[in-house]
């Protein structure tokens, strides 16, 4: 009944209600921070706002004057209104991008299903007979994001991942739209725009770099079934692939050179290099957090340890890229699964990272035709339960001072197993009509 009620409401009404919810959460956060010792506002938000103050601090002001500012300076520039007007303005900006993510999800799913319906006489979207039309599937997909409490809370706490997620999905939207374009010139222009956006996405967050090969393969004229074909495409790319690379390199180079000229090597280290060598000794969801904590008094990890940590992640990313990155119909799922693997297998995993793949998951709903509503709710509940079981020892450790490190590690192992189980189920039930462009 709830699903039917949601899909019968106009999409604009969903945007309106979701905006009201986020505004109320922002107001609640301001009140909560005034009375509670445990703040609602994300500590990273305060760091970025301080970075904005650094920019306004004279002609040589830098956001990197703020200790632990390890983001793109773009985030600090976005927070200047929070310094000049009100501290909560930045939360409004992030929540706005949160809503725009849902708009992109709606448009991308709807347009892609319409195109697929025009290419095939019959394409099943979901198992339920009541959800067959592109408009309804797109609305249901967007509602998953709009009414997801995790994503709403994270953006209203002041986390900027809604902005980076918006850029990632906009990149994908441009690529998918280029496939549908009737005019060759328009298609090429959209691909170049996608490259520019992809460079921006990499600048904001390094993880979209791993999408590059999938985008590249999807733009090839035919599938690369053999290694020789793949090598040939790398050496002799088609026009679309060349434009994607040109756009990506151009935007990434311009942004990097610009901020390097403004802020020097400190920008390169804090915004890029730090995230490649980062060791987080605080408890987090990662399978490897206890190893890093116990080894905090020793030197860096050995080469063998680094290899054992990185290899499973890289092998799975390469496999998923070749398995799902060669077809436009499976490209959104490819990007989602790569992100899911990167987060699950990363040496540092926080709840904000979940936004990275939760923003991409709704783009794939129409391909899980054999997963019923009850099964989907069961999978999502299992994922939430695994988080809840981890949060209990985390709370006892951080706020009660209990020594729960090994209990916490066991829960991290359980969460890791649950995530792998869910990925296996999604791959098993994923389905699409096979055709190249």
Domain that holds residue 373: 281-436
The answer to whether residue 113 sits within a structural domain is no
* CB half-sphere exposure, 268, CA atoms < 13 A: 8
26 or 276: which carries more pLDDT confidence? 26
Residue 298 φ/ψ region, left for φ over 0, alpha for ψ in the -120 to 50 degree band, beta for the rest: beta
Q: Coil, strand or helix: which one is 67?
A: coil
CB-based burial label for 373 (10 Å; 0-12, 13-18, 19+): middle
The answer to whether residue 59 sits within a structural domain is no
CB-based burial label for 410 (10 Å; 0-12, 13-18, 19+): middle
Identify the pLDDT of residue 131: 45
The 10 Å Cβ neighbour count of residue 71 is 21
**Interacting residues of 293 by C-beta distance below 8 A, sequence separation 6+:** 281, 283, 405
The answer to whether residue 258 sits within a structural domain is no
Average the pLDDT over 232-245 and give the result: 85
Question: Residue 79: which of 57, 49, 58, 50 has the closest Cα?
Answer: 49
SS3 content of the chain, % helix, strand, coil (to 5): 75, 0, 25
Identify whether the C-beta of residue 228 lies closer than 8 Å to the C-beta of residue 187: no
The answer to whether residue 351 sits within a structural domain is yes
Helix 89-119 and helix 11-35, axial crossing angle in degrees, nearest 10: 150
Q: Tell me: the pLDDT tens digits for 118-145? A: 776 544 444 444 445 788 899 999 999 9
Q: What b/e string do you get for 217-229 counting C-beta neighbours within 10 Å, with b at 16 or more?
A: bbbbeeebeeeee
9 or 356: which carries more pLDDT confidence? 356
The answer to whether residue 123 sits within a structural domain is no
Q: In the block, which residue shows the tokens 């005034």?
A: 34
Q: Distance between alpha carbon 200 and the CA centroid of its chain, in Å?
A: 14
Q: How confident is the model at residue 226 (pLDDT cuts 50, 70, 90)?
A: low
Identify the pLDDT of residue 58: 72
Identify the pLDDT of residue 126: 43
Q: Tell me: the pLDDT tens digits for 172-200? A: 999 999 998 889 999 999 999 999 999 99
Average the pLDDT over 207-221 and give the result: 92
Domain count, the chain: 1
The answer to whether residue 386 sits within a structural domain is yes
Q: Is the dihedral of CA 298, 299, 302, 306 positive or negative?
A: positive
Which helix (H) or strand (E) segment holds residue 215: the answer is helix 212-218
Task: Report the alpha-carbon distance of residue 387 to residue 390 in Å, rounded.
Answer: 5
Q: Tell me: the pLDDT tens digits for 296-316? A: 555 555 666 777 778 999 999
Question: Residue 355: which of 103, 139, 160 has the closest Cα?
Answer: 160
Question: Residue 345: which of 363, 318, 323 has the closest Cα?
Answer: 318
The answer to whether residue 26 sits within a structural domain is no
Supply φ then ψ for residue 419, to 5 degrees: -60, -40
The answer to whether residue 302 sits within a structural domain is yes
Q: How confident is the model at residue 41 (pLDDT cuts 50, 70, 90)?
A: very high
Identify whether the C-beta of residue 422 lies closer than 8 Å to the C-beta of residue 383: yes
Q: In the block, which residue shows the tokens 């301001």?
A: 30
Question: Residue 320: which of 340, 345, 337 has the closest Cα?
Answer: 337
CB-based burial label for 277 (10 Å; 0-12, 13-18, 19+): exposed
């Amino acid at each position: 009944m709830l699903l039917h009620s949601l899909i019968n409401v106009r999409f604009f009404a969903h945007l309106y209600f979701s905006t009201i919810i986020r505004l109320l959460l922002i107001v609640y956060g301001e009140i909560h921070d005034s009375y509670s010792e445990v703040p609602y506002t994300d500590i990273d938000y305060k760091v970025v706002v301080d970075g904005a103050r650094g920019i306004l601090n004279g002609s040589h002001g830098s956001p990197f004057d703020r200790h632990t500012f390890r983001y793109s300076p773009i985030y600090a520039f976005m927070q200047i209104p929070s310094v000049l007007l009100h501290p909560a303005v930045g939360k409004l900006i992030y929540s706005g991008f949160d809503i725009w993510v849902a708009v992109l999800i709606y448009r991308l799913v709807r347009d892609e299903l319409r195109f697929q319906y025009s290419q095939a006489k019959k394409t099943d979207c979901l198992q339920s007979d009541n959800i067959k039309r592109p408009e309804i599937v797109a609305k249901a997909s967007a509602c998953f994001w709009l009414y997801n409490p995790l994503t709403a809370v994270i953006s209203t706490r002041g986390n900027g991942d809604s902005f980076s997620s918006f850029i990632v999905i906009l990149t994908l939207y441009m690529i998918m739209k280029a496939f549908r374009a009737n005019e060759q010139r328009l298609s090429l222009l959209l691909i170049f725009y996608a490259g520019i956006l992809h460079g921006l996405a990499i600048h904001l967050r390094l993880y979209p770099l791993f999408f590059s090969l999938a985008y590249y393969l999807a733009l090839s004229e035919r599938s690369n079934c053999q290694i020789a074909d793949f090598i040939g495409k790398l050496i002799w790319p088609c026009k679309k692939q060349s434009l994607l690379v040109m756009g990506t390199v151009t935007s990434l180079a311009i942004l990097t050179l610009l901020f390097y000229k403004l802020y020097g090597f400190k920008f390169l280290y804090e915004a890029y290099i730090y995230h490649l060598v980062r060791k987080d000794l605080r408890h987090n969801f990662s399978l490897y957090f206890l190893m890093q904590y116990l080894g905090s008094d020793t030197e860096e990890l050995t080469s063998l340890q680094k290899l054992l940590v990185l290899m499973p992640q890289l092998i799975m990313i390469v496999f998923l890229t070749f398995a799902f990155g060669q077809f436009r119909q499976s490209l959104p799922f490819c990007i989602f699964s790569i992100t899911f693997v990167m987060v699950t297998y990363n040496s540092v995993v926080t709840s904000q990272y979940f936004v990275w793949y939760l923003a991409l998951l709704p783009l794939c709903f129409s391909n899980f035709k054999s997963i019923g509503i009850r099964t989907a709710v069961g999978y999502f509940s299992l994922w939430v339960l695994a988080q809840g079981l981890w949060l209990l020892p985390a709370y006892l450790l951080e706020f009660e001072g209990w020594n729960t490190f090994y209990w916490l590690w066991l829960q991290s192992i359980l969460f890791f197993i649950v995530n792998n189980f869910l990925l296996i189920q999604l791959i098993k039930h994923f389905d699409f009509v096979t055709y190249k462009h």
